[in-house]
Structure 1
Amino acid sequence: MMSPDEIILIIHKENITSCFDTLVEITVFLDRQDLYHLYRVVDDYYEHIPPTGLGLMLLGDLSIIWETAESSDDDFWKDQEEWEIIRWRFHESSGVHTLEIEDGTMIHMLAERRYPLSREI
């Protein structure tokens, strides 16, 4: 399924093979159902194998999209006052917002979920 150097998705209904380096590229290409299916496959794949490289990044990003608790106790959300958002994009097909922070961090969030964002963000 994945190598440390690339993420490969095979979409069977169109018989298309595509290579991606980031979740941003994937959210443009997939719809919500496909994105959730990807999360389940990646989560199952890494259930007994520790993820590394792009696999680790993909699993982390997908986990934030699908598993974020509504409490702000999660360490990821604690330093928001230091974030400088340089770009905020919405990918309509998947319903995912992508925030790009000045340090290069990308945060992916589902449109209808509640995330522990501060008012300033």
Structure 2
Amino acid sequence: MMQEQESIKSDEDAATDYEHEKEELRMWLTVVPDEEETVDPEILSAKLVMKRFEDNTPEGYNLLLWGDLKVMFEPNAEDEIWSNQQDWTLISWKLNENCGVHTLLMDGTLTCFNMLVEKRYPLIKKMLEKMLNWKLEAKAENIMAFELLKFIKSQLED
């Protein structure tokens, strides 16, 4: 009986801790309701790659698309794309829950980075701070948004 009460108290403490953590993470989240269709990122990427690059090497616009897909699915800190992050001016950070992608839009050349929530990207601390200061835009409070914010916060603390 005593162990059961301790287990219930432990569960209640965990729930309280989780609610406290969510409350803290809410300061970096802006809820922007929107209606969109659900998209599976794996199916989308497979279709895009197969359609665009069936029998030729990427050039022109296709090369840009190929580069975007490579940055999204195979991030590499050595790639030149990540070298000038300190100069990036963030104008938007949005979460697309239906496909597990968060998007950074930069001012200037209107560069857009689509990043899978489940992957780690070589973002510098200054960029991570900009992201949290800008606040993540999401359609609703949800586990994915809170986990992404928690991950970004943990990267800043490392």
TM-score of Structure 1 vs Structure 2, range by shorter chain: 0.5 to 0.7
| CA distance in 2: counterparts of 1:32 and 1:73, whole angstroms | 25
Alpha-carbon displacement from aligned partner over 1:28-86 (angstroms, at most 9, x marks no partner): 662223223235415742x6333222x232222111111112xx221110100000101
Check 1:102–1:78 CA distance in 2 against 1; reply closer, same or farther (3 A cut): same
Partner letter of residue 63 of structure 1? K
Equivalenced residue count is 91
Q: 1:111 aligns with which of 113, 117, 120?
A: 117
Q: Is the 8 A contact 2:58 2:66 kept in 1?
A: no
Q: Is the 8 A contact 2:103 2:115 kept in 1?
A: yes
Q: Secondary structure at the match of 1:33?
A: helix
Q: Decide which structure has the larger Cα Rg and report it.
A: 2
Check 1:75–1:109 CA distance in 2 against 1; reply closer, same or farther (3 A cut): same
Segments of structure 1 that go 5 or more residues without pairing to the other structure are 1-27
Runs of 4+, deviation exceeding 6 Å: none
**RMSD between aligned residues:** 2.3
Which structure shows the higher strand fraction? 1
Quick one: higher RCO (CA 8 Å, sep 6+), 1 or 2?
Answer: 2
Task: Please report the TM-score for the alignment, with normalisation by the length of structure 1.
Answer: 0.64
Identity, in percent, stands at 32
Task: Please report the TM-score for the alignment, with normalisation by the length of structure 2.
Answer: 0.50
Which structure shows the higher helix fraction? 2
| CA distance in 2: counterparts of 1:88 and 1:56, whole angstroms | 25
